[in-house]
Amino acid sequence: MPSLADEARIALDNITDRTSGFFSPTIRLGVTGLSRAGKTVFISALVHNLLHDGRLPLFSAQAEGRIAGSYLQEQPDAAVPRFQYEDHIRTMLEGREWPASTRAISELRLTIDYESASGWSRFFSRGRLAIDIVDYPGEWLLDLPLIDKDFATFSREAIERARTPSRRDMAGPFLALLDATDPAAPADPERAQALHAAFAAYLTACRGDRTALSTLPPGRFLMPGDLEGSPALTFAPLVLDPGKAYSRSSLAGVLERRYEAYKSVVVKPFFREHFARLDRQILLIDALQAINAGPEAVRDLETALTDILACFRPGRASWLGSLLTRRIDRILVAATKADHLHRESHPRLEAIVQRLVNSAIQRARFSRAEVHVLAMAAVRATREATIEDHGDKLPVIVGVPMAGETIAGETFDGRIETAVFPGDLPADPGLVFAERPVDAEAPVNFVRFRPPRLERTAEGLTLSLPHIRLDRALEFLLGDYLA
């Protein structure tokens, strides 16, 4: 994907990283996922549990008492915003609200002092591992395939998606404006701005709860940041005649240059400066939202995840090769919000996600990368219980639904705790892709819950954030570094 010049700069960055970390090993952990998958919550919970000696029985270094201490340090990248861990924890613990979604890249360095599991290694000195956690929006990954696509290819694919049955209504205003636009006409700034605004509004509508669509490049149109209004972010696809050459002064010529500028100014720097420097990666997926929205959303999520995983650089480099280029040797694909289901449905959730990413996972394994699928909740907002209904015992989850959530016609105010029977996911993962899925034992009903109140011990000690399988995630991502 990158040019030779990009590869040279990547190699230089990697040599700098490796030499600076020669005496103090460092791992760069990428955390990404599509909108509302729980990236901010995952990082906050990971750090909180390590800083506060959390309950992590399957994280071997912690369970075996080999972690002497964990602490935050200044991050190495001075130009990257710091992940505001303290603010996010305060929002969850004091306000019992979920923190705001990731809008841009951020970074946090967590350092762990530990004793090696090897007696020989312990003889010399205590180990120390710096973990640079890089948080970035998954929508940005959907831009990486654009590097290899010209404006005509981007336009054709984007318009074909907009005209599919599930998107046609939301794309209506954009398509109507597009049909009334002549790409060969002289460039008109107002027409270009109108096309961009209509296209961006359509992408935003696709991301709503009702549709929950995921394949929405260009990603920066959904979160432009400080580039909002710049020419590089003010373009839209056009209906182009195959093989026709458009003049530089035409609307097509101007928007093509802006598209190429978007790749140069936005996409390539992200790939070179951040993405190509990762060692491990967790990809968070809110599969429940897509299942709630229906089969079309599930299939669209499958397409987006395949595109995202295809962007990773999986594999294992040789010792010498690792000085010049990084390979992501472990990828964790985590289905989040497992606390919205009873544990009996967790294996089914994992099977659905396995189906979603199966082809991309197979490609990664051919590159000798380890890929693992896991159902988890970085912060557990519910507890499990059993209720009787006409003599039958039903497994339920108990929590405080967020204000505005509706169950059986009842709208909650965000203060009342209630028991919810979420239903059962189908035993056959393929059924969630079907146009008319066969009903499971009961209809599936997913609602969102507020963060929990932290438990206290008899001595008044506040415990760490509860979770589901966060320890398994840590063991897969970091366990071998702390062995």
pLDDT of amino acid 167: 93
pLDDT for position 65: 93
Render pLDDT for 386-426 as a digit per residue (tens, 0 to 9): 888 778 888 899 999 999 988 878 899 999 999 988 888 88
CA-to-CA distance for 384 and 369, rounded, in angstroms? Answer: 36
| Residue 440: predicted pLDDT | 43
CB 378 within 8 A of CB 467: yes
Mean per-residue pLDDT, 338-342:
93
CB 444 within 8 A of CB 423: yes
Task: Quote the pTM value.
Answer: 0.86
Q: Which domains does the chain have, with CATH numbers?
A: 4-136+274-377+469-482 (3.40.50.300), 149-266 (no CATH)
Q: Is 226 exposed, middle or buried (0-12, 13-18, 19+ CB in 10 A)?
A: exposed
What integer pLDDT is reported at residue 381 of this predicted model? 95
pLDDT digits (tens, 9 = 90+) for 60-105: 999 999 999 999 999 988 889 999 999 999 999 989 999 988 778 9
Residue type, 123: F
The whole-chain average pLDDT of the chain stands at 86
User: In the prediction, which pLDDT does 90 show?
Assistant: 93
Q: Which of 206-215, 330-339, 376-385 has the lowest mean pLDDT?
A: 206-215
Report CA-CA distances (Å) from 80 to 8, 135, 275, 284, 450.
Answer: 22, 10, 13, 22, 30
Residue 322 — pLDDT band, cuts 50, 70, 90?
A: very low
Average pLDDT over every residue of 145-164: 94
Mean pLDDT is lowest, of 21-35, 221-235, 390-404, for 21-35
pLDDT of residue 190: 95
Section 301-306 average pLDDT: 87
Give the CB-side neighbour count of residue 156, counting CA atoms within 13 A: 9
pLDDT score of 282 more than 50: yes
| DSSP type of residue 219 | G
Cα 412 → chain centroid: 28
Using the predicted structure, report yes or no on whether residue 438 has a pLDDT greater than 60.
no
Predicted confidence band of residue 319 (pLDDT cuts 50, 70, 90): very low
Q: What is the mean predicted confidence (pLDDT) over 117-133? A: 74
pLDDT of residue 439: 47
* Omega prior to 218 cis, within 30 of 0: yes
pLDDT of residue 218 exceeding 70? yes
Instruction: Supply angle C-alpha 30, 32, 34, rounded to 5.
Output: 170
What pLDDT is stored for residue 323 in this prediction?
Answer: 41
Average the pLDDT over each of 116-125, 201-210, 363-372, 393-402 and give the range with the smallest value.
Answer: 116-125
- Per the CB < 8 A criterion, the answer to whether 198 and 170 are in contact is no
| Residue 340 predicted with pLDDT over 80 | yes
pLDDT band at residue 324 under the 50/70/90 scheme: very low
